[in-house]
Amino acid sequence: MKKILLGLVMLFAISKISYGQNLDNPGDYMTAISNAHDDMNKKYMAYVSAASHGKRARKVDKLRTQAVEAITKSKYKTIDLPMYKGDNSLRQSSIEYIDLCYKVFNDDYAKIVNMEEIAEQSFDEMQAYLLMKEKVDEKLKEANKKMNKAEKDFAAKYNVTLVESQSELGEKMEITGKVNSYHKKVFLIFFKCNWQDNELTKALNNNKLNDAEQARSSLLKFVEEGLKGIDSLKTFNGDPTMSIACKSALMKYKQIAEKETPKKTDFFLKSENFEKMKKEFEKKKDRTQADVDAYNKAVKEFNSAVNISNQAGQNSNNLRNQLNEEWEKAEKDFFDRQIPYFKK
CA 70-75-79 angle, 5° bins: 150
b/e map of 176-196 (b: 16 or more CB within 10 Å)?
bbebbebbbbbbebbbbbbbb
Write down the pLDDT at residue 286: 87
Model-level pTM greater than 0.85?
no
Length of the chain: 344
Write down the pLDDT at residue 8: 30
Write down the pLDDT at residue 176: 77
Write down the pLDDT at residue 131: 85
Q: Which letter does DSSP use for residue 239 in this model? A: B
101 neighbors 77 (Cβ within 8 angstroms): no
Write down the pLDDT at residue 17: 35
Write down the pLDDT at residue 4: 29
246 neighbors 186 (Cβ within 8 angstroms): yes
236: which strand partners? 239
Closest among 154, 167, 191 to 16, alpha carbons compared: 167
Walking along the chain (344 residues) 10 residues at a time, the average pLDDT comes out as 32 35 84 91 81 68 90 95 95 95 91 86 87 82 86 93 65 78 92 96 94 96 96 90 96 97 92 88 87 89 93 96 96 87 62
3-state SS assignment for residue 87: strand
35 neighbors 173 (Cβ within 8 angstroms): no
Listing DSSP states for 157-171 in one string gives HTTPPP--BPPHHHH
Write down the pLDDT at residue 165: 53
Q: How far apart are CA 179 and CA 174, in angstroms?
A: 9
Q: Count CB-CB contacts under 10 A for residue 309.
A: 20
Q: CB within 8 A of 258, min separation 6: which ones?
A: 220
Write down the pLDDT at residue 174: 75
Query: Could you tell me where the DSSP H helices lie in the chain?
Result: 26-35, 38-52, 61-80, 89-103, 109-118, 123-157, 168-205, 209-233, 241-255, 261-283, 289-338
